[in-house]
Amino acid sequence: MRNPPRFASRVVRERLRELGHAQTYQGWREIAIELDRLEGADGWTQDDTSEDFDYLLIQERLQRIRALRQKADVRQLAFELYEGLHGNLGNISNPALYAVARVGTKRLVADYIHEVSRCLDFICAGDFADFGFEEKIQFFKRTATSFGRSALMLSGGGTLGMFHLGVIKALHTQKLLPRVLSGASAGSIIASAVAVRSDDEIDAMFEPGGLNLDAFQSLGWREIIRGGAVMDSGQLERCLEANIGDLTFVEAFDRTHRIVSITVSPAETHQQGRLLNYLTAPHVLMRKAVLASCAVPGIFAPVQLEARNYAKQTVPYLPSQRWIDGTLSSDLPMLRLARLHNVNHYVVSQTNPHIVPLIAAAERERRGLAPLARELVKQGGSGALRLARKHLDPHGGGRLLGKIDNIVRQRYSGDINIFPVPSHRRMLGLFANPSSDDIQTYIREGERATWPRIERIRLQTQISRTFEDCIRLLKRREHERVHAGDPRAHKPLRAVR
């Protein structure tokens, strides 16, 4: 966050106070734009030159593709886009470009992104004698695959994970919610609730009573001693069933076309963490996957997954295996999302209480040495843990250190990070049911933390969103051609998923 100058003018101080009390994104944005003008950041945005990106390359590319579109030279335009369209061309995704103005970045960067999207719409919507429908399909499939797409990743964090609701609300309101989402532990509850709801149904999630979040119920001493867990898994599962229903991953995908992945960790040795979604575990019940992802060791008992067999009966899935908290093996499964869904840009909502202070410090010290020093400490600590494991019983202390090692070595931040203000007080309620007022407070905090990132998310996801819109339109046209009996109809177009 930016700090006001020591001798800021009275008007700037007043606007800063108003910014802190804005009730909507539109109101926040209007005040932020005025502050950019008062503080001189708007002059920076209008100046193309910068040491933070290759502005000469972007100027040349912008002029080139704009001229080709205006001349309607579709073949040459498609060639230029296919050959030179990259998400970070000339370093235009550099975080430094979004650290000066409160709203947006260099006008040149925004103009370039808008022009690329306009060119894609032009190719998709136009009817060209020298660029047929089959060539369009090939162009969009190949270029979209090369360009990649964005995902929203929701971390663990116990009750603090209700902050994710506000992030979802802010992005959904601005029509910026990615189709690809992942969730671990608390994040899996929110991700799965989104997975089973259409766009029109998502709004109800944010209303009082929109979700059942009474997930925690303590067990008696006898049950704790017998099961080794202090919370009732049955209560959590009833909560999940109320929010998610009885859908499998593939049934949820068929209903909403959202790609939602849930991470789970193995309770036994010789197993690896799993990423469950409509491709890797299509018939697994989503509520069971979320139950496992939330099974913090010592708090909830390990979970046996369930799935529907060919006869639509509910049966155990991998019957001999039990699964626990997804954050232990992969809080943010970036590599697996990249392999499965062509994701190469990550928006992260991070609420893990042991991670948020580090991310907040790294954001403040982006240009300093502190992040590097922290990374060196982390890597050194991980090496020490691996060395200790070699000299301990693999089924006792060595196994415990293995889990700690997995936690230490994970990556907990993405390209764009959204996180709450660190609070030690809230850690006391990490495994307590939030009240209705608590939930609304978390939603407001999630929204407000997202607003300063909205324009960056809008710009950095605009091209991939345009690709998805164009491919969806071409699929519909191809479907109409097939049903109309057009002998030239191409084989059904498969969207990039």
CA proximity to 120, closest of 496, 491, 467, 481: 467
CA-based end-to-end distance of the chain: 35
Rounded to the nearest 5°, which phi and psi values hold at 300?
-120, 150
Identify the active-site residue in 36, 325, 405, 415: 325
* Active-site residue, selected from the candidate residues 93, 150, 155, 185: 185
CA–CA separation, 287 vs 308, rounded Å? 13
Q: Are 472 and 464 in contact (CB under 8 A)?
A: no
Cβ atoms within 10 Å of 243's Cβ, excluding its own: 21
Residue 233 appears among annotated catalytic residues? no
Determine the length of the chain. Answer: 497
Look up 320 and say whether it is catalytic.
no
Catalytic residues: 185, 325
